[in-house]
């Protein structure tokens, strides 16, 4: 048995603990793979499923519990896979269904779960359902999408705005009607008030569950139903914020967050309950997502978990943001289980949003330690384990339609989607022999996996240690959370499970903070950032961007 196989065997053995098998996802660490940018096996400059297959050993070594695969379905790629043209097939640019089956087989042999996206709010305009629906007003799928007559003056049915800019309605000459698209005009919205549409989507879910997937991330879920009366959205209050797109000028009362969405989720839960150990998590956007997240995960009859953009879109990490986000999930009234993500394919990388360039290396470790300390599931985005900063992508190389429309007012999404650097000495940092679909940032080559593997002080080794600690300490994985009142940028909380207790302390600011817990007896520091590794006591001074996790010794 080689060294890698030995490591994998050890990880698999750890995951076979019967106690952990119940609700495997509770407290799980889930690694997000964005296939286009993970690994290119064919030399065309685009990552693919065979590249994912090759990279599963690396992911297994991280110690994560599961992989979330971003879309790989048949698509014209106007929104890079979130515009689905065939829910039950693989786009040729990524490979074949057989390639996906090999991923499932290998992942399960390695002890990894596989979660995939499901995009139920809209399809591509090239989906066969839409092609049929737009033919006339009487065909069998005529009511599968959101169609509406124009106003008497020929204008759009109401004032709803698209997330990507412009009105959320486009005219179709054949039907002499407008169709709704909350995103690109090539992403028409399904009408989920129609139970035939719900039935068809549930069959899509069964297709993938029968192939062995372990769960779903439900994309843009609160856009899944609209107000049938098509009432105008009211204007958003002008509270001093700078709006960068028309979508932000409205309160989205009527084009999203319909109260019937949870009923559809109960149908999804009933379907997933037909299989063993399935995990479901909702993406919930919006300015006030908490109530909706609670609704989507309530009573054990809907989804298991939900996450929002509290951290993903935050310009600054603060103690108040962290405490309010975590305290909102107290575990009462049969509420669901929270999930957290600091970075993903939809948001600029956290280290570039929250830390100055000169402190990124240290900040990457600190933020990873905070993510692994929070009560809930931790989503780790590819490259986050390397401390990758947001890549610079020049305007002429941008691919993301949102980034192009809003340039230069936002960082855009392309800078978080550039290729993962595997080997610093290889062309394109080892991602591909061909020119990548997005350019590799030269700064990323210095942070390549090959470089960090050789450095036991690297972010990569640190994150592996963090995940191992979380896995082996029950209180960190699924214990309760009790915050300690701190000052300024000092964030401190206990994680408690049974008789086990962990203390997590972070100085997320730029100034030294003086702080010690009231009771520090029998606490031992087990991992830290910014301190002398030989001293395992609890420090009185916390330097800028420093922190530690300590456990109470019995």
Catalytic residues: 219, 274
Residue 525: enclosing H or E segment and its boundaries?
strand 523-529
Question: Going by C-beta distance under 8 Å and a sequence separation of 6 or more, which residues neighbour residue 382?
Answer: 31, 32, 33, 34, 37, 38, 420
How would you classify the pairing of strands 177-180 and 66-69?
unpaired
Q: What is the C-alpha separation between 495 and 502, in angstroms, rounded?
A: 5
**Of the candidates 516, 53, 146, 545, the residue with the CA atom closest to the CA atom of residue 317:** 545
| E strand or H helix at 450 | helix 449-453
How open is the CA angle 106-110-113, to the nearest 5 degrees?
Answer: 80
Rounded to whole angstroms, the Cα distance separating 111 from 9 reads: 9
Measured CA to CA, the distance from residue 433 to residue 358 in angstroms comes to 31
Give the integer Cα–Cα distance in Å for 420 and 416: 10
Distance CA 294, CA 314 (A): 21
169, β-bridge pairs? 180
Tokens representing residue 327 in the block: 């305290």
DSSP 162-205: -TTSSBSEEEETTTTEEEE-SS-TTSPBB-TTSHHHHHHHHHHH
What are the backbone dihedrals phi and psi of residue 62, each rounded to the nearest 5 degrees, phi first? -65, -30
Among residues 419, 410, 420, 415, the alpha carbon closest in space to that of 394 is found at 415
């Amino acid at each position: 048995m080689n060294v890698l196989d030995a490591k994998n065997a050890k990880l698999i053995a750890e995951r076979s603990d019967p106690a952990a098998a119940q609700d495997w996802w509770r407290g799980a660490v889930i690694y997000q793979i964005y296939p286009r940018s993970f690994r290119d096996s064919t030399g065309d400059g685009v990552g693919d499923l065979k590249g994912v297959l090759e990279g599963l050993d690396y992911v297994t070594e991280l110690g994560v519990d599961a992989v979330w695969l971003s879309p790989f379905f048949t698509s014209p790629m106007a929104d890079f896979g979130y515009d689905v043209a065939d829910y039950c097939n693989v786009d040729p640019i990524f490979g074949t269904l057989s390639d996906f089956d090999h991923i499932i087989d290998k992942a399960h042999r390695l002890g990894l779960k596989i979660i995939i996206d499901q995009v139920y709010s809209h399809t591509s305009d090239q989906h066969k359902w839409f092609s049929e629906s737009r033919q006339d007003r009487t065909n069998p799928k005529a009511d599968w999408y959101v169609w509406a007559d124009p106003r008497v003056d020929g204008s759009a049915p109401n004032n709803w705005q698209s997330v990507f800019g412009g009105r959320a309605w486009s005219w179709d000459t054949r039907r002499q009607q407008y169709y709704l698209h909350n995103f690109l005009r090539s992403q028409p919205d399904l009408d989920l008030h129609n139970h035939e549409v719900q039935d068809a989507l549930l069959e899509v879910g069964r297709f993938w569950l029968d192939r062995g997937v372990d769960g779903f991330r439900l994309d843009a879920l609160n856009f899944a139903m609209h107000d049938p009366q098509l009432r105008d959205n009211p204007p958003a209050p002008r509270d001093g914020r700078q709006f960068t797109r028309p979508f932000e000028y409205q309160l989205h009362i009527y084009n999203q967050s319909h109260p019937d969405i949870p009923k559809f989720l109960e149908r999804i839960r009933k379907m997933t309950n037909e299989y063993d150990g399935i995990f479901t998590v909702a993406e919930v956007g919006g300015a006030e997502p908490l109530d909706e997240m609670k609704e989507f995960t309530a009573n054990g009859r809907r989804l298991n978990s939900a996450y929002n953009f509290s951290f993903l879109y935050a310009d600054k990490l603060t103690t108040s943001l962290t405490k309010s986000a975590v305290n909102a999930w107290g575990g009462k009234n049969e509420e669901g289980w929270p999930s957290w993500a600091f970075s993903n394919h939809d948001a600029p990388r956290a280290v570039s949003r929250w830390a100055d360039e000169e402190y990124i290396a240290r900040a990457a470790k600190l933020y990873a330690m905070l993510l692994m300390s929070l009560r809930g599931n931790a989503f780790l985005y590819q490259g986050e384990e390397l401390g990758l900063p947001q890549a610079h992508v020049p305007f002429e190389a941008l691919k993301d339609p949102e980034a192009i429309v809003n340039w230069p007012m936002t960082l855009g999404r392309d800078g978080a989607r550039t290729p993962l650097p595997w080997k610093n000495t290889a062309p394109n940092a080892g991602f591909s022999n061909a020119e990548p679909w997005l350019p590799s940032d030269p700064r990323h080559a210095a942070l390549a996996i090959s470089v960090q593997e050789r450095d036991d002080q690297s972010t990569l080794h640190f994150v592996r240690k963090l995940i191992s600690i979380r896995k082996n300490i029950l209180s960190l994985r699924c214990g309760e959370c009790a915050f300690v009142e701190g000052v300024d940028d000092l964030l401190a909380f206990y994680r408690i499970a049974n008789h086990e207790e962990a203390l997590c302390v972070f100085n997320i600011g730029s100034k030294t903070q003086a702080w010690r817990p009231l009771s520090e007896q029998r606490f031992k520091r087990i991992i830290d950032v910014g301190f002398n590794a030989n001293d395992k006591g609890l420090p009185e001074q916390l330097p800028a961007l420093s922190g530690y996790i300590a456990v109470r010794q019995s």
